[in-house]
A and B are shown apart, each in its own frame.
Chain A
Amino acid sequence: MKAFTYERAGSPAEAAAAVIRTPGAKFIAGGTNLLDLMKLQIETPRHLIDVNRLGLDKIDETPEGGLRIGALVRNTDLAADRRVRRDYAVLSRALLAGASGQLRNKATTAGNLLQRTRCPYFYDTTKPCNKRQPGAGCSAIDGFNRNLAILGASEQCIATHPSDMAVAMRVLDAQVETVRADGATRAIPIADFHRLPGATPQIETTLAQGELITAVTLPRPLGGVHAYRKVRDRASYAFALISVAAVLPPGGGGRLAFGGLAHKPWRVEAAEGRIGQGARATAEAVLAGARTTPQNAFKTTLVERTLGAVFAEARV
């Protein structure tokens, strides 16, 4: 860990201004990811701006009939919220499938969206990684990539996004609200929030420098079966090999988003039209353009089989 300075921001816009003012500054909320990365010197901020006390920890109902989740609502509180459990069960289930109780107590909604990849080479500063050190090369493409991306990857990076929560947010068509130093706000559709790696895997979101997430809003609830199926190597406390967030209304159709496949939560709206044709047809459409390695090729089979399980469960 490199020495750093610290300040506590008084308001969201002030925090945004502070991060622009100070070179090498970063926001810190729960710190469950950032502090680990700082200890390994994967992240080396020179200044931290603590946003924990900005009052962004409420869950409010929106005039449109949805929910506005404050950026600092802890994962535990969000998963346990009565309205979330009732109307957005897929989100509650996704949250509870992630991390551990202690981490969820600390981790925030915005921080969860901003988690960085768990690619082992990103975590090893003795090895090249384009995400850590642009232009250095990708160690994973020809290395240990059993749990890395099969969709939307590039020659520069095959990392995956590790979040469970973000996958549920994607299936719910959430919007990410932000503020800038000048007080300007905007709402970014979750589909556009995370970027594919392309030639710049170090740039992971569409947030501008100094832009601070203030909330995530959910549109009106979607009826139907809400399922989150996370497949992993042990029963708990492991990142997904693949995960499926599904909202399946009784009349057919539905929505699907996937974790563990790409640099961002993966959703192919066109595939959702095939739900009625079954898991194989749906999986084919989801996996269009997939590029696998000998180690992670099993993910294509797993997507189809897990979809089959989710569809079967929804029909019961």
Chain B
Amino acid sequence: MKFDTPATANVIDKMTVVGQPVDRIDGKAKTTGTAPYAYERHDVAPNAAYGYILGAAIAKGRIEQIDLAQAQRSPGVLAIVTYKTAGKLGKAQAHTAKLLAGPEVQHFDQAVAVVVAETFEQARAGAKLIKVSYAKAKGGYDLAAAKAGAIKPQENEFSGHADTAVGDFSGAFAHAPVKLDATYTTPDQCHAMMEPHATTAAWTGDKLTLWTSNQMIAWAVRDMSQTLLIPKENIHVMSPYVGGGFGSKLWVRSDALMAALGARAARRPVKVALARPQVFNNTTHRPATIQRIRIGADRAGKILAIGHESWSGDLAGGGPETAANQTRLLYAGANRMTAHRLATLDLPEGNAMRAPGEAPGLMALEIAMDEMAEKLRMDPVEFRILNDTQFDPEVGPKRPFSHRDLIGCLRTGAERFGWSRRVPTPGQVRDGRWLVGMGMAAAFRGNVPMKSAARVGVDGKGVVTVATDMTDIGTGSYTVIAQTAAEMMGVPVDKVIVLLGDSRFPVSAGSGGQWGGNSATAGVYAACVKLREAIAGKLGFDPDKVVFEDGKVRSGRRSVSLAKAVGAAGLSAEDVIEFGDLDKTYAQATFGGHFAEVGVDADTGEIRVRKMSGAFAAGRILNPKSARSQVIGAMTMGVGAALMEEAVIDQRFGYFVNHDMAEYQVPVHADIPHQDVFFLDEADAKSSPMKAKGVGELGICGVAAAVANAVYNACGVRIREYPLTLDKVLKGMASV
């Protein structure tokens, strides 16, 4: 199905199942521990041996020698694979760094060897006995130091343009009566999802089966094929359950490659899970940024000039954190510029983490907006509303937004939160030991439609089965797909079986960039349309008038049960939703407003979030329960970004030193207050036949700035370097 004109009225509009707060259909399996995760596939690989990865102890240089003698003699060790014994390997185009080091080492903890043994403990003990000697090389790890040499990055399908410019930014900024020129920094961050990267691998002849934890099945097949230099047809990837990804599992990591190599060497299935410290340095992270923002406005608050420059770093051949992207679309202003610059750093590979671009970009931009509002003596909500735009401000009115209700989000959020109680002057509200403040920020995240296919069948008992390689990374894909099929085929959700995460199924959008929910259900919609036509055709019903309801197929006065309609052999159909130019003709995005109240301890500078509200406009909400769950998780992650998350670089060793969950802190329950989440009731006919958009990443966008602005309002300390730890508050308090 080609989707190149806005959707008209369709079956989904009934919203008898879609749009309802249906419980997760995979909830029981997950809560009873029966959902099979990649490392626990005793059912399919009961004799799997254990692999343990030894990572590089240096950040840059060469392996001079590897002495395996002691490790090989270690109890239980079955095989050891290094670059010397792995056979010829390629590097997948999607990977910046190789998954297996040798002889060159590109970053700290890059895999050097996998030790396969009968037990996990034996494999780990064996790995510790490998003696590797390195020739260290000098590397660069400091973004601030490397900033001067940063270059204009190459553009790819996800990055957008490196630079944009409209009008006369410098002239307009120079002459603006009210202006701000400020620099903000965001640190490196780690995904720190609950389930570490894990894979069980098995070979049958030259055919490889991987049970892994991955967000994008077709990419996994592609990248394993490019790495192992074997045909894609010989690789079968399954990832039915994923314990969180946040972008860290968009591409296969060393667990998949080393499990495959280990299994080939040991001639039996091998499973590998990354140990928690390896998640920090062996895989990818969200790169740190330095962002300079300039905003000039007239005295009434109209933005005349807006400029956003962002510097980030990555390994040679990597890409930038596109932190200026949202500034191209979020606010009006005739004169504008954005620019990304990329420095070479020898840290582990930088890559996508929940809302790449917007998450760190809004951390900076939305503080800048707060600072401007203060200079203008305007309410921060009103300042944003005054500068709303209904079209792409770089292109003009000929490229309107498909649907944009940022104002509705800000007004609704402010109302629900009680924004009117805010005292604009900082440091005025006290509650016992706490200085109390309120802050807000806009949320913005692009909506990306992605081609997505599915197969839908009905069997002789009227049970509907959907198969697609879509993944559920905790988001609720299983459930929204079941709801879509149930709505389309006129059956209850419990008559739908959803099969996901298998490379033998039709290729879906996968889970990334908050495109999965809308795109994958649209693919299911397309397959259902085809199946409905086939069933109508079989019955001789007019396909335009046929109704699927209550397990029956009706046309006029004729009614046949779905089971009977398809017959004992059943019927199935496969289709793919392909998106035309609607996301080019129209700017497509999701919007929100975040509101936070914080307390800052007047003595110690400790910050605690006391209250959060968010209102969001993201098209049709397919399942308000799972959508809310996505958003409260994202808001929690945003609090982490605001207050505590920082992967600290040791410049001498070139690695993230706080590489465990004790030292890389994320919020605990006690850090998170009640979160009020509200979705505006809308449907965006230009996004897909589902009229939905993404929510999973929108929820994190802007949260940290809302918290930072609340901290300023509470105590008068403006912190422009994340995270807002109490040492920075104390430093500011000393000068307030």
Residues of chain B with a CB closer than 8 A to A118's CB: 662-663
**Are B603 and A308 in contact (CB-based, < 8 A)?**
yes
**A154 to B57 alpha-carbon distance, docked (Å):** 27
Q: Are B121 and A305 in contact (CB under 8 A)?
A: no
Given contacts A41-B128, A139-B650, A309-B603, 15 further A-B contacts (CB under 8 A): A1-B121, A1-B125, A3-B121, A3-B125, A39-B124, A118-B662, A127-B653, A139-B653, A143-B657, A232-B606, A234-B643, A234-B671, A235-B671, A237-B668, A301-B730
Would you call A233 and B657 a contact (CB within 8 A)? no
Closest to A307 in B: B603
Decide if A298 is an interface residue (CB 8 Å cutoff): yes
Q: How far is the CA of A125 from the CA of B128 in the complex (A)?
A: 10
The answer to whether B652 touches A142 (Cβ under 8 A) is yes
- Shortest 3 CB-CB contacts between residues of A and residues of B: A235-B670, A298-B727, A309-B603
Instruction: Give CA–CA (A232, B601) in the complex, Å.
Output: 12
Q: Are B644 and A233 in contact (CB under 8 A)?
A: yes
Kindly state whether residue B676 has any CB partner on chain A within 8 Å: no
- Cα-based distance from A123 to B652 in the complex (angstroms): 17
| Beta-carbon nearest neighbor of A229 in chain B | B604
Does A236 contact B668, Cβ atoms closer than 8 Å? yes
The answer to whether the Cβ of A241 comes within 8 Å of any Cβ in the partner chain is yes
Q: Which residues in window 245-283 of A have CB below 8 A to B? A: none
- Interface residue? B75 (CB, 8 A): yes
Q: Are B604 and A144 in contact (CB under 8 A)?
A: no
Interface residues as binary, B702-735 with A (CB distance below 8 Å gives 1, 0 otherwise): 0000000000000000000000011100110010
State in angstroms the CA–CA spacing of A201 and B416 once bound together: 56
Measured between beta carbons, the chain A residues less than 8 angstroms from B727 are 146, 298, 302
Q: Please judge, given known A-B contacts A1-B124, A143-B652, whether A238 and B665 are in contact too, CB under 8 Å.
A: yes
B652 touches A234 (CB 8 A): no
**B340 within 8 Å of A by Cβ?**
no
**Is B658 interfacial (CB 8 A cutoff)?**
yes
What 0/1 readout, one digit per residue, does chain B (55-84) give for beta carbons within 8 Å of chain A?
001000000000000000001000000000
B222 at the interface (CB under 8 A from A): no
Q: A239: which B residues are within 8 A, CB to CB?
A: 662
The contact string, 1 if C-beta is below 8 Å from chain B, for chain A 25-37, is 0000000000000
List CB contacts (< 8 Å) of B595-616 with chain A. 601, 603-606, 608
| B658 and A120 contacting across the interface, CB-CB below 8 Å | yes
Determine which residue in A231, A233, A241 has the highest number of CB atoms from chain B within 10 A of its CB, and name it.
A233
A126: interface (CB < 8 Å): yes
For the complex, what is the distance from the CA of A291 to the CA of B601, rounded to whole Å? 26
CB distance from A91 to the nearest CB of B (A): 21
Within 8 Å CB of B725, what residues of A? 233
A309–B128 CA distance with the chains assembled, in angstroms? 48
Within 8 A of B (CB), among A214-244: 231-239, 241
- A144 in contact with B648 (CB, 8 Å): yes
Chain B hits for A88, CB < 8 A: none
Q: In the complex, which residues 38-91 of chain A have their Cβ closer than 8 Å to any Cβ of chain B?
A: 39, 41
Instruction: Map CB proximity to A onto B661-683 as digits: 1 under 8 Å, 0 otherwise.
Output: 01101011111000000000000
B658 near A235 with CB under 8 A, answer no
In this assembly, does A92 line the interface, its C-beta being within 8 Å of a C-beta of chain B? no
Judge whether B104 is part of the interface by a CB distance below 8 angstroms.
no
* CA–CA, A142 and B603, complex, Å: 29
Min Cβ gap A305→B in Å is 4
- Contact residues of B with A, CB < 8 Å? 57, 75, 121, 124-125, 128, 277, 433, 601, 603-606, 608, 643-644, 648, 650, 652-653, 657-660, 662-663, 665, 667-671, 725-727, 730-731, 734
> A126 — which chain B residues lie within 8 A by C-beta?
57
**Contact between B648 and A302, CB atoms less than 8 A apart:** no
Q: Interface of A with B (CB < 8 Å)? A: 1-3, 39, 41, 118, 120-121, 123-127, 139, 142-144, 146, 231-239, 241, 298, 301-302, 305-306, 308-309
CA distance A298 to B657 in the complex (A): 20
A298 to B726, CA, bound (A): 9
Asked whether A231 and B668 contact (CB < 8 A) given A41-B128, A127-B653, the answer is no
User: Which A residues are CB-close (under 8 A) to B657?
Assistant: 120-121, 124, 143-144
Q: Which residues of B contact A305 (CB under 8 A)?
A: 603-605, 730
Interface residues of B, dominant DSSP? loop
Contact across chains for A302 and B124 when beta carbons are under 8 A apart: no
What distance in Å separates the Cβ of A25 from its nearest Cβ neighbour in chain B? 18
Complex interface: chain B residues within 8 A of A124 (CB): 277, 657, 659
Q: A233-B725, A234-B671 are in contact. Are A144 and B128 (CB under 8 A)?
A: no
Question: B732 to nearest A CB, angstroms?
Answer: 11
Instruction: Determine whether the beta carbon of A2 is less than 8 Å from that of B604.
Output: no
Query: Which of B660, B726, B731 is the one whose CB lies under 8 Å from A241?
Result: B726
In the complex, what distance in Å separates the CA atom of A146 from the CA atom of B663?
Answer: 11
30 A-B pairs with C-beta separation under 8 A: A1-B125, A2-B125, A3-B75, A3-B121, A3-B125, A39-B124, A120-B657, A120-B663, A121-B657, A139-B653, A143-B650, A143-B657, A144-B658, A233-B644, A233-B725, A234-B643, A234-B644, A234-B665, A235-B668, A235-B670, A236-B671, A241-B726, A298-B727, A298-B730, A301-B730, A305-B604, A305-B730, A306-B603, A306-B604, A309-B433
Pair A233/B668 contact, Cβ less than 8 Å: no
| Contact of A236 with B670 in the complex, beta carbons under 8 Å | yes
Cα distance, A302 to B730, chains bound together (Å): 8
Write out the residue numbers on chain B whose beta carbons fall within 8 Å of the beta carbon of A3.
75, 121, 125
Residue numbers in A under 8 Å from B667 (CB-CB): 234
Instruction: Specify which chain B residues have a CB less than 8 angstroms from the CB of A146 in the assembled complex.
Output: 648, 727
A123–B280 Cα gap in the complex (Å)?
14
Q: How far is the CB of B282 from chain A (nearest CB, A)?
A: 13
Residues of B within 8 A of A139 (CB): 650, 652-653
Q: How far is the CA of A127 from the CA of B665 in the complex (A)?
A: 22
Minimum C-beta distance from A220 to chain B (A): 32
* Contact residues in B for A120 (Cβ distance below 8 Å): 657-659, 663
Query: Which of chain A's residues have a CB closer than 8 A to the CB of B125?
Result: 1-3, 41
The interface residues of chain A lying within 8 Å CB-to-CB of B605 are: 302, 305
- For B671, the chain A residues whose CB sits under 8 A away are 234-236
- A306–B730 Cα distance when bound, in Å, is 12
Q: Which residues of A contact B659 (CB under 8 A)?
A: 120, 124
Are A302 and B726 in contact, CB atoms less than 8 angstroms apart?
yes
Chain A residues lying within 8 Å of B601, measured Cβ to Cβ, are 309
A231 contacts B726, C-beta separation under 8 Å:
yes
- Name the B residues within 8 Å of A143 (CB-CB): 650, 652-653, 657
In whole angstroms, what is the CA distance A51 to B251 when docked?
47
Chain A residues near B608 (CB-CB < 8 A): 235
Contacts A302-B726, A302-B730 given; does A233 touch B643 at CB 8 Å = yes
CA–CA, A144 and B658, complex, Å = 9
Interface centre among A120, A123, A144, A234 (most CB of B within 10 A): A234
The residue of chain B having its C-beta at the shortest distance from the C-beta of A119 within the complex is: B663
State A121–B650 Cα separation when bound (angstroms).
10
Partner of B650, one of A125, A144, A236, A238: A144
